[in-house]
Amino acid sequence: MCGIIGIVGQVPVAPLLVDALKRLEYRGYDSAGIATIEGGELARRRAEGKLVNLEHRLDEEPLAGTIGIGHTRWATHGVPNETNAHPHFSNGVAIVHNGIIENFAELRQELVEDGYAFTSQTDTEVVAHLVSRELKRGARPVDAAHRALKRLEGAFALAIMFQGDDDLIIGARNGPPLAIGHGKGEMYLGSDAIALAPFTNSVTYLEDGDWAVVRRNHVEIFDMKGEPVERPRQQSVGSSFLVDKGNYHHFMEKEIHEQPEVISHTLAHYLDFTEGRARALDLPFDFAKLDRLAMSACGTAYLAGSIGKYWFERYARLPVDIDIASEFRYREMPLSGKSAALFISQSGETADTLASLRYCRDQNVPIGAVVNVRGSTIAREADVTFPILAGPEVGVASTKAFTCQLSALASLAVMAGVARGHIASEAESILIRQLAEAPRFANQVLRLSDQIEKVARELSRVRHVLYLGRDTSYPLAMEGALKLKEISYIHAEGYAAGELKHGPIALIDETMPVIVIAPHDRIFDKTMSNMQEVAARGGRIILITDEAGAARTSLTTMDTIVLPDVPEFIAPIVYALPIQLLAYFTAVAMGTDVDQPRNLAKSVTVE
């Protein structure tokens, strides 16, 4: 988390730094700051809260200078206030940092004993003092930075600037991403290529353990031993325009509405609708020979994978283990020579997912990754990337990335089913025809927005909500709960409907709405029995179903959201939309910051 930027430029850099930080705000928005060298002296402006506060600060007190670094923060060590905001200074050294310095407590103790005074509660300030101590001991800036870097444990992307040298920024990476942008007589450093896109699309990604000496006309990259290393220069695919909300009130609303289009782009990438066939892909494994697929991801991406598990097992008869990445990475799962691993990540930078990928790589398991951000670390480290064509997702709550992840996973499940001989040619074209219909059904669901908004107004008055579903609607129930809690701050839980009577039913009373996701499928009647159990205890039900489902149920304490009749295979893609809309309208009714909810960040690059 946190976004960092550095520019060694020709023109005043303060406005360019702020512009780049706007592109990085998805990484954190607790506070922001920039530093430049103005008239030979380090100078900085910092502000608590959103970037707009920093912009106001700079309007009142502008900063000159053609070299600078900037930071947008997601707090790990120290509360989000101006004092803890980056850049941090120590005797002519300025520093911005993304990550966690795990040995900061020992280092801090050592520096305090050496007479260094700390002004913030951050782990970052130790790095500034370490570098400045090396300068004091007589090292030149580059060596001082290298010596300090060797003392650090943990995850970091850093940019370091020195008073007295306005042609030098040191960048370093160990964990969180850092890219160098090559300009003409100007150089850049940034957490991702999108931040750098308006300046240049020629980028070099640092690898773990790399550090770089960045000057206007020259860049050198070294490993931790100080040996020069070569890293390729690449054309980035970062979009140079800052995505806007168009006529929508929030990015999340816009992204929900983009789904029919982006689902169809994603499906078309994998499926040939004219031939009714899955496209042939060049894979590092053969689906037919696998005995297991290990999947891992975090948050919403994990829930997409959990739905994917049902599809791979049902349609391809391929056993799937799906794990939360922060568990997978430490649980030492045995992987056979017939396994493949699949990681799912919108950002392609999530620290736990990346660590899980590396665990599988060490086990020599072929690796696929379903990612949105091309050029991201997970995309680059996988043996094969399965892109989702969602486009930039700005709202912190994942919406269109989720349904695009589902679209990619459903397509891959069909591909696997065909390869393993469980989906015959006719069945393949039926499943592909069903998937082709998903965007149209998604569009129909969007037309129910007014009705869903009315239900959401009621939800906005409660403190707890339960979501229930069976089969693929079970992970969807968890996704509904996740979406609601993260943007409305209402406590919500998603449960397998059959689990209700094993505990959660004790919570049911007239104050607890229960949202039941139940397309009229093979197990609809089972879910209805669970619904009756809720009604019998005075629980208020919001049923999301189709016409056939609605016709079979009538309870007085009930709202019903009636979706189009959709084939069972694609139901999770279509049913994702009403749960997103419910969360969205609830949050709007409560007046929360929908696109940037408290305590969250779009890209989670720390454990």
Any idea which residues carry the catalytic annotation?
Answer: 2, 602
Tell me the two tokens of residue 21.
């930080």
Smallest separation (angstroms) from ligand F6R to the CB of 56: 29
Of 82 and 593, the one with the shorter C-beta distance to ligand F6R is 593
Selected range binding ligand F6R among 111-119, 234-242, 294-302, 316-324, rule: CB under 6 A: 294-302
Q: Which is nearer to ligand F6R, 574 or 600 (CB)?
A: 600
Backbone angles phi, psi at 16, to 5 degrees: -70, -35
**329, 297 in Cβ contact below 8 A?**
no
The minimum distance between CB 306 and ligand F6R, in angstroms, equals: 12
The answer to whether the beta carbons of residues 108 and 16 sit under 8 Å apart is: no
Residue 364: exposure state from Cβ atoms within 10 A (0-12, 13-18, ≥19): exposed
Task: Kindly state whether residue 397 participates in binding ligand F6R, applying the rule CB under 6 A.
Answer: yes
Nearest-approach distance from CB 340 to ligand F6R, in angstroms: 19
Minimum distance of ligand F6R from residue 372's CB (angstroms): 7
278 vs 396 by CB, closer to ligand F6R: 396
Ranked by CB distance to ligand F6R, the top (closest) residue is: 299
- Do 11 and 60 contact (CB within 8 A), yes or no? no
> Stretches 9-17, 25-33, 35-43, 297-305: which one binds ligand F6R (CB under 6 A)?
297-305
Phi and psi dihedrals of 397, rounded to 5? -75, 125
| Residue 346 in the binding site for ligand F6R (CB under 6 A) | yes
- Cα gap 482→211, rounded to integer Å: 38
Least Å distance, CB 300 to ligand F6R, is 3
| C-beta of 347 vs 553, nearer to ligand F6R | 347
Closer CB to ligand F6R, 478 or 505, in the complex: 478
- For tokens 């304490």, what's the residue? 557
The one-letter amino acid at 480? G
The answer to whether 310 and 472 are in contact (CB under 8 A) is yes
Question: For ligand F6R, which is the closer residue by CB, 474 or 584?
Answer: 584
Cβ 177 to ligand F6R shortest distance, Å: 12
Under the binding rule (CB under 6 A), the answer on residue 300 touching ligand F6R is yes
Which residues face 221 on adjacent strands? Answer: 212
CA neighbor of 442 nearest in space, from 549, 252, 575:
575
127 sits near ligand F6R (criterion: CB under 6 A):
no
CA angle 298, 303, 304 (to 5 degrees): 105
Name the residue nearer to ligand F6R (CB basis): 122 or 372: 372
Q: Applying CB under 6 A, does 299 fall inside the site for ligand F6R?
A: yes
Q: According to the binding rule CB under 6 A, does residue 345 interact with ligand F6R?
A: yes
Shortest separation between residue 298's beta carbon and ligand F6R, angstroms: 4
Angle (CA) 150 152 158, round 5°? 95
| 298, 340, 412, 490: which one binds ligand F6R (CB under 6 A) | 298
Q: Which is nearer to ligand F6R, 95 or 397 (CB)?
A: 397
CB of 600 to ligand F6R, least distance (A): 8
Whole-number minimum distance, CB 429 to ligand F6R, in Å? 31
Q: Before 504, cis peptide (omega within 30)?
A: no
Q: Rank residues 353 and 472 by Cβ distance to ligand F6R and give the closer one.
A: 353
Contact region with ligand F6R (CB under 6 A), list: 299-307, 498-506, 527-535, 589-597: 299-307
# binding residues, ligand F6R (CB under 6 A):
15
**Which residue among 75, 127, 212, 301 contacts ligand F6R (CB under 6 A)?**
301
CA distance linking residue 157 with residue 603, whole number of Å: 14
Residue with Cβ nearer ligand F6R (482 or 574): 482
Q: Is 342 in the site for ligand F6R (CB under 6 A)?
A: no
| Residue 121: other Cβ atoms inside 10 A | 13
Query: C-beta of 256: minimal distance to ligand F6R in Å?
Result: 12
Decide if residue 24 touches ligand F6R (CB under 6 A). no
Q: Distances in Å between the alpha carbon of 545 and those of 441, 529, 603?
A: 13, 15, 33
CB of 353 to ligand F6R, least distance (A): 5
- CA angle 462/469/339 to nearest 5° reads 125
Coil, strand or helix: which one is 239? coil
Write out 251-307 in H/E/C secondary structure: HHHHHHHCHHHHHHHHHHHHEECCCCEECCCCCCCCHHHCCEEEEEECHHHHHHHHH
**155 backbone dihedrals φ, ψ, rounded to 5°:** -115, 130
Neighbouring residues of 550: CB distance < 8 A, sequence distance ≥ 6: 543, 560, 562
Q: Which of residues 274-293 bind ligand F6R (CB under 6 A)?
A: none
Q: Which residues ranging from 322 to 341 are in contact with ligand F6R (CB under 6 A)?
A: none
Is residue 350 part of the contact set for ligand F6R (CB under 6 A)?
yes
Stretch that binds ligand F6R, among 11-19, 208-216, 261-269, 345-353 (CB under 6 A): 345-353
Cα–Cα distance for residue pair 163/354, rounded to 1 Å = 36
- The answer to whether residue 347 forms part of the interface with ligand F6R (CB under 6 A) is yes
Strand 491-496: give its sheet, edge to edge. 491-496, 464-469, 513-517, 540-546, 558-563
381: exposed, middle or buried (C-beta count within 10 Å: 0-12, 13-18, 19+)?
middle
Query: Residue 604, interface with ligand F6R (CB under 6 A)?
Result: yes
Provide the 8-state DSSP code for 228.
Answer: B
Type of residue at 373: V
CB 194 within 8 A of CB 349: no
**C-beta of residue 20 within 8 angstroms of C-beta of residue 205:** no
| Per-residue mark of binding to ligand F6R, 480-499 (x: CB under 6 A) | --x---x-------------
Give whole-number Cα distances, 264 to 120, 202, 213, 439, in Å.
49, 30, 44, 6
Nearer Cβ to ligand F6R, position 236 or 398?
A: 398
Residues in contact with ligand F6R by the rule CB under 6 A: 298-301, 345-347, 350, 353, 397-398, 482, 486, 603-604
